[in-house]
Amino acid sequence: MQAEIITIGDEILIGQIVDTNSAWMAKELNGIGINVGKITSISDQEADIVSSLKQAMERVSLVLITGGLGPTNDDITKKTLSDLFEMNLVQDDFLFAKVEQRLWQRGIPMNRFNREQALVPDGARIITNNHGTAPCMWFEKDGKVVISMPGVPFEMKGIMQDEILQSLKQHFSTPVILHKTVMTQGIGESVMAEMLEDWEGNLPACVKLAYLPSPGVLRLRMSLLGDNLAELEKIIEEQLSALKKIISANIFGYDDEPMELTVAKLLSDKGKTLGTAESCTGGKIAHLITSHAGSSSYFKGGVVAYSNEVKENILCVNGEDLEKYGAVSQQVVEQMAIGARKVLNTDYAIATSGVAGPDGGTQEKPVGTVWIAVAGPNDLISHRFDLYKNRERNIQVASLNALNMLRNLLQK
């Protein structure tokens, strides 16, 4: 079962807003067995709307449209669809009363634009919008379904969840779709492809594999299409256990769970606390951890030790070692981790010190050189990484590497 999404609005085409609606809708549709084959963003122009919709209806049985339903002159979706499906715009009394009440609550008199908001095409099914005043319309023609929804994200999401997803499940007999995403760290895309060549070659035909790289993390996504959920789940289980035999140590989680949440669960399960001592990552690790609700139960705090003075004064790094080995060294990063664990009074501490770039590199320690240490009750481990030339990427990848070192230690 294939669908397409069309988003209408100039604001997307001039880059003023990012279209986050489509990704959300695609994910929800996937969840009920509907594949999105194409997403198209077009302007508020009648000719564009008509031609894009006609083309989409030739390809698939379901088209979801968002946007262009506001009360102002530039919003023409309702009129255009009404003309296209040869319907007349008539007043919807329920909608009229709702618009009237909203305006009354705000002490605003009704004008022409408001009255037009209550007009709907006489042949369409009107779906209740509990989240605003724009009408949501369900059109059917020649066995095809076209749904028009407002573009405001919370209105669209509300309507989809309240009624549309349920109606679609009833209207179409949809197959089962199953996705499983494996989160990995420490192996690049091409090396991974080589390591998995045999496994990938032997995947059953119903499994589609995708490599999804992002800085520091490579996600492997298996997608399965079928009729029987239990059968698909069994195939996933089998393939997953075969995969684990090859890259077990590099798998840190599943289904888009970020690294810091994997670490958080391990810490919580063991009842242990964490602190950070960051030089080159500059607070990014603390920020990742504290982005999640509940982090205060395992994260006590951190020190962003950007200057050597702070490394010495707060983290008790030896001044002579700083002089002798430099801030980016095994000696210093290990002392930072030990010092953080002590001064923050935590079970574990992670420390980073490196040359993030673009300046500050030397022959011996070029841009991208990063030392990371993890200190625990019975352990002190440290590792040198040779990363990239890009500052943003170095900060991101070093943060993930640091969390991954802690994960490995906690899972030992």
Tokens of 252: 């840190």
143: tokens are: 């066995």
Does residue number 87 form part of the binding site for a copy of itself (CB under 8 A)?
Answer: no
Q: Looking at 61, 174, 250, 290, which residue binds a copy of itself (CB under 8 A)?
A: 290
Give CA 12 to chain center in angstroms.
19
Cβ burial 213-247 (10 Å sphere, 16+ → b, else e): eeebbbbbebbbebeeeeebeebbeebeeebeeeb
- Indicate whether 62 belongs to the interface with a copy of itself (CB under 8 A): no
170 binds a copy of itself (CB under 8 A): no
Nearest distance in Å: CB 86, a copy of itself: 26
Q: Confirm if 127 and 164 have CB atoms less than 8 A apart.
A: yes
Give the SS3 label for residue 401: helix
Task: Mark residues 36-55: x for contact with a copy of itself by CB under 8 A, - for none.
Answer: xxxxxxxxx---x---x--x
Under rule CB under 8 A, which residues in 226-265 are in contact with a copy of itself? 256
Determine the Cα–Cα distance for residues 103 and 95; give it in Å rounded to an integer: 12
- Binding-site member from 90, 97, 191, 249 for a copy of itself (CB under 8 A): 191
d(CA 129, CA 147): 13
Work out whether 223 is an interface residue with a copy of itself (CB under 8 A).
Answer: yes
Q: How far is the CB of 3 from a copy of itself (least distance, A)?
A: 10
What DSSP assignment string belongs to 371-382?
Answer: EEEEE-SS-EEE
Cβ 101 to a copy of itself, closest distance in Å? 13
Measured between alpha carbons, how far is 368 from 390 in angstroms, rounded to an integer? 8
Dig out the tokens for 402 from the structure: 């640091």
198, 238, 323, 386: which one contacts a copy of itself (CB under 8 A)? Answer: 386
CB atoms within 10 A of CB 399: 30
**DSSP letter (8 states) at residue 248:** G
Alpha carbons 105 and 161: distance in angstroms, whole number: 27
271 near a copy of itself, rule: CB under 8 A: no
* Token digits of residue 226: 């079928």
Which of 239, 243, 242 has the alpha carbon at shortest distance from 218?
A: 243
Between 37 and 319, name the residue whose CB sits nearer to a copy of itself. 37
Give the residue with the Cβ less far from a copy of itself, 92 or 278. 278
Element (H, E) at 53: helix 46-59
Q: How far is the CB of 2 from a copy of itself (least distance, A)?
A: 10
| Smallest gap from residue 43 Cβ to a copy of itself (A) | 7
Question: Would you say 82 or 273 has its CB closer to a copy of itself?
Answer: 273
- Establish if 210 lies at the interface with a copy of itself (CB under 8 A): yes
Q: Which is nearer to a copy of itself, 210 or 229 (CB)?
A: 210
26 binds a copy of itself (CB under 8 A): yes
Site string for a copy of itself, 310-349 (x = CB under 8 A): x--xx----------------------------xxx----
Counting every residue written for the chain, the total comes to 412
Min separation Cβ 388 and a copy of itself, Å: 9
Q: How far is the CB of 124 from a copy of itself (least distance, A)?
A: 22
